[in-house]
Structures are given as C-alpha cells and as structure tokens.
Amino acid sequence: DGQTPNDSPRSSGGEVTVAIPQNRNYGAIGGIEKVTYTWADVNAFATESRSRGRRFWSFWKNSSDRMFQQRKQLLRNVNGAAYPGELLAIMGSSGAGKTTLLNTLTFRTPGGVVATGTRALNGQPATPDALTALSAYVQQQDLFIGTLTVREHLVFQAMVRMDRHIPYAQRMKRVQEVIQELALSKCQNTVIGIPGRLKGISGGEMKRLSFASEVLTDPPLMFCDEPTSGLDSFMAQNVIQVLKGLAQKGKTVVCTIHQPSSELYAMFDKLLIMADGRVAFLGSSDEAFQFFKELGAACPANYNPGDHFIQLLAGVPGREEVTRHTIDTVCTAFAKSEIGCRIAAEAENALYNERKIQAGLADAPWAMSSTTRAGRSPYKASWCT
C-alpha cells in the first residue's frame, strides 16, 4: 500500500484523515468482501406481564388466566437496506425507534422485546451466527482496561479475538495497519486512562480505539450505536470521518445518531429517518431535501436539515393528534414514493428467498455449517478458539 509502519496519518486543517490502504485482501470472508444488508417487514413489540388478583388465587386459577400480555408496538413494518461503500445514519427524535431498530438488525433485542421480520445478507436470510461472523458492533459505552496503552490494548485484542491459525507476526502487522488506518499513531504508546483517576487519551481517540478493536478482524459490515455521544463538535466530526473512511473502503456502515450538526449531516451517504417506529424517509440528503419540499415542508435556508426533519416529526406535548397526523402523512407518502417502492421491492426479494428456504426449496447459505465457518473472516476467532 506504499506506507511504512512509521508513516503518520494524513491530516489537513487539524482534521483527521483516515489512511486508506489499497489492494488489500484482509478480511475476505469466503470470497465475501462486500455485504448488502436488507431488512423487510420488521416489527418489534414490548411485552409486559401483569398479575390479575392476589397470589393466593394462584392455587385456584390457571396461570394463563392470571397473566395477560400488554403489548406496545415499537417498530411498524420497517423496510430498508444498507449498501457497501455507504455510511447510513439512523436518525430520529427520542423514542422514534432508532436504538430499537439497531438492536433488531443486530439480533440484540433485550428481554421483554419481541421482534419479527426478515434480515438478509446479500439477498439471503441472515441468522445471528452469520451476522456475528460478518459484522462488528461498536457500543455506545467504551469499555477498556485503562492502565493499558493503546497499542497494548490492540495487541491484547489481536491475541484473543483472531483465529488461532493466524501467525503472531501477521497479528502484529494487522495491529500496526489498524493503528495507521484509525489515526492512532500519535497516541499508540499513551495509556487509555481511567476517568477521575488516571489521565489518558481524549474522548475522540477513545472512540477511534473502539472502532480499531472491531476492525481488527476486518468485517465488511459495521454497526455503531451513537458514536458521537458525549463528544464535542470537533471530536464528533473526526469520529464520523473515521466511519466515512471505513465506508469508502467498501464496508457497509450503519450508525444511529442523535441531533447531528450540519457538518455531520453532510457527511452521511444515506439517511434513515424514524418516526414513531416507522420509516419516514430513507435515501440521500439531496433526496430528503426534495422529498420534504414536495410535501410542503421544505427545509428553510441556512437551517440544519437534520434538525428540521427531526423536529417536524417529533412529538409535542399537547399536540399529539397533530403529530400523529404529520407522521402518518410523511410515512405514507414515502412508502408510495419511487424510493420507497424500490426499497420495498428489495425487501420483498429477501422475504421470497426466506420463504424458499423455509419450504425446503433452497439451502440456507448462512447456516453455521462447515461452509459458514470456512467463510468467516480469517482474523475472527470463535468463542471456542
């Protein structure tokens, strides 16, 4: 790739630029280096069990009579797709369903939440094991051993997470590559730090270290839960630049984000705007501007489009009926739009493939068989390794 381990990351104007090595074969997953992730007819419900009557009635009444389920729908018939080389941002006001959708897409729904629908990898139904083998998940909260340096942390991760057949020299080479790619060279020998006890790296560097830990195995698909949370505007922009750089390498990157600035908004390749558990829009920023303009809700000049769209669909106390009508109008219009119909067609294709597998007319390509295990990233170890 023309870089030596001692090269420093390129930068301009104080902004971090992610180094993009070329002609890399790392992370080829059974020949799968790029993943299109689609989801169709996704619904999620929160269930709450409540007792009717007092405990002593349990001797006399059947449990099915004593207990009933209260169900609140969190996601409603959500369709969507994320493509290689694109950074998709899931946006929306608080309670819109952003985190619920991300958890559902990654098979991480918490207890008490029931999710249904189809998730597909390159058009074929996905399973939790297959998605784990092909993806990385960066949590909102960073968890580190604060007394380790950045390099020591990545070496530790490389030793425990990579497949046991990977030679030590190759692991260390991969660690150095990731340090270069994620612009961590300047802080690689600095301790991570413990808040309030041990001074260490900055918040932005800590978030980039979270990304580095996940991209060691070079997955083609990445999920990030609010990666800019708790960061100032400058650090937040650097973090999104890192995600943008990973997407430019051909990865499929999906993240949730809360109230992005105008600068961050302009960096996203695609937007998925959620409202009351429904899809209000999915497409590019230019398409979003035109879509809302045609609905008579154009973004004013010199105004943050992200704020405008989120506020338009956010609930206002005392105006719940007006908000519901606005959300229903926007979501229905998008479902009938050209973009919405195209996404629905892709989702229907995923549903069709799933039905074929269920009917025994096709093999499940992502079953955890020897085929899938052979198709795993050469850097990714199983829990049994």
Q: If one looks up domain 32-49+72-142+220-374 in CATH, what number appears? A: 3.40.50.300
Distance CA 134, CA 84 (A): 13
pLDDT at 362: 58
The count of other CB atoms within 10 Å of the CB of residue 146 is: 15
Q: For the residues of 333-380, what is the DSSP string, one character each?
A: HHHHSHHHHHHHHHHHHHHHHHHHHHTTSS--TTSTTHHHHHTS-TTP
At position 320, the amino acid (one-letter code) is E
What residues does each domain of the chain span? 32-49+72-142+220-374
Q: For the residues of 195-216, what is the DSSP string, one character each?
A: TTTB----HHHHHHHHHHHHHT
Contact 113, 46 (CB under 8 A): yes
pTM of the model: 0.78
Print burial letters for 33-47: b (CB count within 10 Å at least 16), e (below 16).
Answer: bebbbbbbbbbbbee
Contact 99, 256 (CB under 8 A): yes
Contact 379, 218 (CB under 8 A): yes
Alpha-carbon distances of 357 from 120, 172, 351, rounded to whole Å: 12, 41, 10
- What are the tens digits of pLDDT across the range 122-178? 888 889 999 988 999 998 877 899 999 999 999 999 998 888 888 999 999 999 999
**Per-residue confidence in pLDDT tens, the chain, 385 aa:** 444 444 434 444 444 444 433 334 334 344 467 899 999 999 999 986 544 444 444 444 444 443 445 688 999 999 999 999 999 999 999 889 999 999 999 999 888 899 999 899 988 888 999 998 899 999 887 789 999 999 999 999 999 888 888 899 999 999 999 999 888 999 999 999 998 899 999 988 998 999 899 889 889 999 999 998 888 888 889 889 989 999 999 999 999 998 899 999 999 999 999 999 999 999 999 999 999 999 999 999 889 999 999 999 987 777 888 889 999 999 999 999 988 888 888 777 766 666 666 666 555 555 433 333 334 444 554 434 4
Contact 9, 242 (CB under 8 A): no
pLDDT at 363: 57
Distance CA 297, CA 20 (A): 39
pLDDT at 369: 35
Contact 41, 118 (CB under 8 A): yes
